[in-house]
Structure 1
Amino acid sequence: MNGLPSVAIVIPSWNGVAHLPDCLDSIEELDYPRDRIEVVVVDNGSTDGSSALIEESYPQVHVVALDENRGFAEACNEGARRATSECVALLNNDMRVEPGWLRGLVAGYEPDAGYVCVAGVILDWDGERIDFAGGWVNFHAAAGNEHFHAPLNEALIEDGRDLPFACGGSMLIAQDVFLELGGFDPAYFAFYEDVDLGWRLWLAGYKVRLSGASRCFHRHHSTGASIPSDRQMLLLERNALWTLIKNVDDENLAPLVASALFLVVMRGVLASPSPRFDAVAEVVADLPQLLERRSDVQRRRKRSDTEIFELFGRPFAPLLETEPYVEASVAVRTLFGLDRLFTRQRATRVLVVGSGDSARLPEMARFLSDLSDVAVLAPGRSADVLEELLTESDLVLVGATTPHARTIAEKTAGLLVVDLADGTDVECPELRQRADVLLSPEDGLQALRDLVREPWRRRRGTAEVPVPEDLQQLLRHRRERRAANRPAGRFARAMSRAIPTRFEDSVRRLVGRSRLTA
């Protein structure tokens, strides 16, 4: 790309008079040529004097005044339509940006290589915690931010990595591509419109990446908090279903939508009365228009679902952590054979088996704890505890001289990594044969990050995820309940009886028991 592109910074705003000065003042300090920037505030029918404030204090800002609150999605679209620049940078009104924010986004913009959309890093207002540094999507199109609200740690920010979507609060996109694809789906109003756009970009042959150098600061949900909680839940549930129905191909549509609907109902049952049922009703009522929008999305398809699913990161992340819901998630996933669709899952549960003579394992455990959920098993713990942790972990890290070598070789379900950093070799032939990865003394912590991010690249044998995330949580629930000697509730027992034989067989095979106990 020759030279810096012109950029329209589009800021949707509804009653944002308390936030706009910080936002617009920070834009004035941008390290970017002034003649390459236009600033557009789309006022969503505000009644707090926002437009008057801008006209009086920021005359260089172009205000697009809408007669009513049309939602985040349509406000962004209207701003993009009014813009005259090559690129559109979307920014929430409750943000302030670093001087290098825009240059950072532009540095990742590489349309000739397909990267027409770039996400920026979003921190909390004090710059101490992460709001967005990457995202994940699960199989029913719900999404989340990786490391959300974790303390700022530069090791968690991977500049240039591919993302399934860019957060709409801080992103850059080619204006012509944004408008060609229809922008954000205005029917969404708010929530998940950026997930849907990211999916459509990838389907249409484009790419999305993260710019680690682009930083802004967010008063999290200060605007979103104005939406009543029941309405927020309806939008989240409905928009996830819309995203799924629009974007997956014909072969995968029925099993994924059926699975998603089962789980919406399950969440509703567990939290009744619930606007989740209203979300399903709105999806059904909107089906004719939704299928028209789906037809437009599918017409632009240049990538298969398999290619898109590989970006999800945590396809089996359950939205509720209660045991009945996790049981339902596992049962539905197994019933519809979703394991064949989603074969790539980042390591979400890591077990580090301690060894008294290893100096590097504790350091590795600390490093991994920023990337994943880590359990550390001290030497001398019972074999039963070790076996249960081995079956519920999708990455197991051990020292070469661990006294539990044979048990680990036999019972590990996930990726098995053996650390040779102390210069020792693997003495147990079963452990050496079973190990997927041998870490040499020269392998640094970056090698561990790669294993957590993409364990499938080193996994041998089955192509399926060995321990899906929902199964990890279910096994943990049952282990903790047995340890506390708590009986299963009536609902959990009923769910256990309803779980298909195929599911029970797979869990028995992992756990090594002849019968599952509720």
Structure 2
Amino acid sequence: MKDNTTKRISVVILNWNGAKLLEEFLPSVITYTPAEIAEIVVADNGSTDNSLEILKDKFPTVRIIPFTTNYGFAEGYNQALNHIDSEYTVLLNSDVEVTSGWLDALITVLDSDNSIACAQPKIRSQRNKEYFEYAGAAGGYLDIYGYPFCRGRVLHIIEKDQGQYDTTTDILWATGACLFVRTQTYKDVGGLDAQFFAHQEEVDMCWRLRCRGYRLVCIPQSIVYHVGGATLNMESPQKTFLNFRNNLLMLYKNLPEDKIRHVMRVRFWLDYIAATKFLLSGHPKNAKAVYDARKEFFSLKNSYLSIRKENLKKTILKKIPELMQQSLILQFYLKGKKTYHQLVD
């Protein structure tokens, strides 16, 4: 029998044809999520596998929000949160293994400071548990040209977790793999950008929140393990297209007037260098995806003008400490700075 009483926390897992992932990872979520304060919700994006049957048969305590279509990651969560009334929501990927007490430190920190809108735990690789996980590690940042990096992961270099990032710290973005957010704040700021469909939508939303004066933090006392790349292959041209297009849209939406022209000029060259690298390494479809991403960005740009104006109008924090005012590519390849500590030093 499901308890329909509103809990303080809703752990919302977005699923699309992920029956095997649900069977593997949902048991840890159920085991380590205290039912007295939290509900577990699976929002199903129109799956055509046996996900719904498995949920009903094997996980009867889980609340199901069924959709008849695949809304994608961004709009899928927006639609799901229309059904959520809890004070806090956790956006949790279906390929995340949680651990004992994983919610305790997160809720304690957000309860203690209303200026904190979002938080994430420390995220390690589920397949190589001594190392950080690519998508979130110990909290995310951006360089001036929109390149994301983390405490524990800079470009393709992933560090072993040796406690070097065990301090709670302010970050620019919390990973969508496990994002703890104030539900009403999520709704007030407009949620995730549905146009993004998937990839970097949480970075965009977090940047928006930070501009409006909210804080975001990584709380490493909470630990989860993420598989990563479970729904889209790392070398997928579609993933390349979404990453490049969405990153350009994010820059256009959030950069101040005194930065945007310079940044977009430099990105022109950086993007085509990336496309050339794809081509020379035998990935012509990925090279074309970069070109297509830039083409679609320019076709969408005018429709984002009003959104950009709104973001700039609502910006409170003019200078964001977590936005590195240097080129990550330059620091990494020319100066040999391969870790977060080296970058900030």
TM, length-normalised to structure 2? 0.86
- RMSD between aligned alpha carbons? 2.4
Aligned partner of 1:194 in structure 2 is 202
1:244 equivalent in alignment to 2:251? yes
Q: Distance in 2 between matches of 1:239 and 1:216?
A: 26
Task: Quote the offset at 1:348 in angstroms.
Answer: 6.5
Question: 1:119, 1:170 within 8 Å by CA — same for their partners in 2?
Answer: yes
- Equivalent residue for 1:289, pick from 292, 300, 303: 303
Aligned partner of 2:140 in structure 1 is 135
Question: 2:253, 2:307 within 8 Å by CA — same for their partners in 1?
Answer: yes
**Using a 3 Å threshold, how does the CA distance of structure 1 residues 295 and 188 change in structure 2: closer, same or farther?**
same
Aligned partner of 1:72 in structure 2 is 73
Larger relative CO (CA 8 A, sep 6+): 1 or 2?
2
Q: Distance in 2 between matches of 1:292 and 1:277?
A: 25
- Equivalent residue for 1:28, pick from 23, 27, 30: 30
| Partner deviation per Cα, 1:231-285 (whole Å, 9 max, x = no partner) | 1111111111011000011222222222222321332244344211101111111
Matching residue's letter, 1:56: D
Q: Distance in 2 between matches of 1:67 and 1:321?
A: 45
Question: 2:147, 2:328 within 8 Å by CA — same for their partners in 1?
Answer: no
- Equivalent residue for 1:298, pick from 307, 312, 325: 312
1:211 equivalent in alignment to 2:219? yes
Q: Distance in 1 between matches of 2:336 and 2:165?
A: 14
Matching residue's letter, 1:10: V
SS at match of 1:172: strand
Q: Distance in 1 between matches of 2:151 and 2:37?
A: 33
SS at match of 1:155: coil
- Equivalent residue for 2:159, pick from 130, 141, 150: 150
Q: Distance in 2 between matches of 1:13 and 1:276?
A: 28
Q: Distance in 1 between matches of 2:75 and 2:228?
A: 21
Matching residue's letter, 2:145: H
Q: Distance in 2 between matches of 1:68 and 1:31?
A: 28
Question: 1:156, 1:370 within 8 Å by CA — same for their partners in 2?
Answer: no
SS at match of 1:136: strand
Task: Quote the offset at 1:111 in angstroms.
Answer: 6.8
Q: Distance in 2 between matches of 1:220 and 1:277?
A: 26
Q: Distance in 2 between matches of 1:270 and 1:320?
A: 19
TM, length-normalised to structure 1? 0.59
SS at match of 2:73: helix
Aligned partner of 1:7 in structure 2 is 9
Identity %: 25
Q: Distance in 2 between matches of 1:210 and 1:179?
A: 21
Quick check: which has more Rg, 1 or 2? 1
5+ long unaligned stretches in structure 2:
1-6
**Using a 3 Å threshold, how does the CA distance of structure 1 residues 68 and 62 change in structure 2: closer, same or farther?**
same
Question: 1:348, 1:372 within 8 Å by CA — same for their partners in 2?
Answer: no
Matching residue's letter, 1:120: P
Matching residue's letter, 2:105: G
**Using a 3 Å threshold, how does the CA distance of structure 1 residues 270 and 224 change in structure 2: closer, same or farther?**
closer
Question: 1:108, 1:209 within 8 Å by CA — same for their partners in 2?
Answer: no
Q: Distance in 2 between matches of 1:154 and 1:73?
A: 32
- Equivalent residue for 2:190, pick from 182, 206, 223: 182
Task: Quote the offset at 1:28 in angstroms.
Answer: 1.9
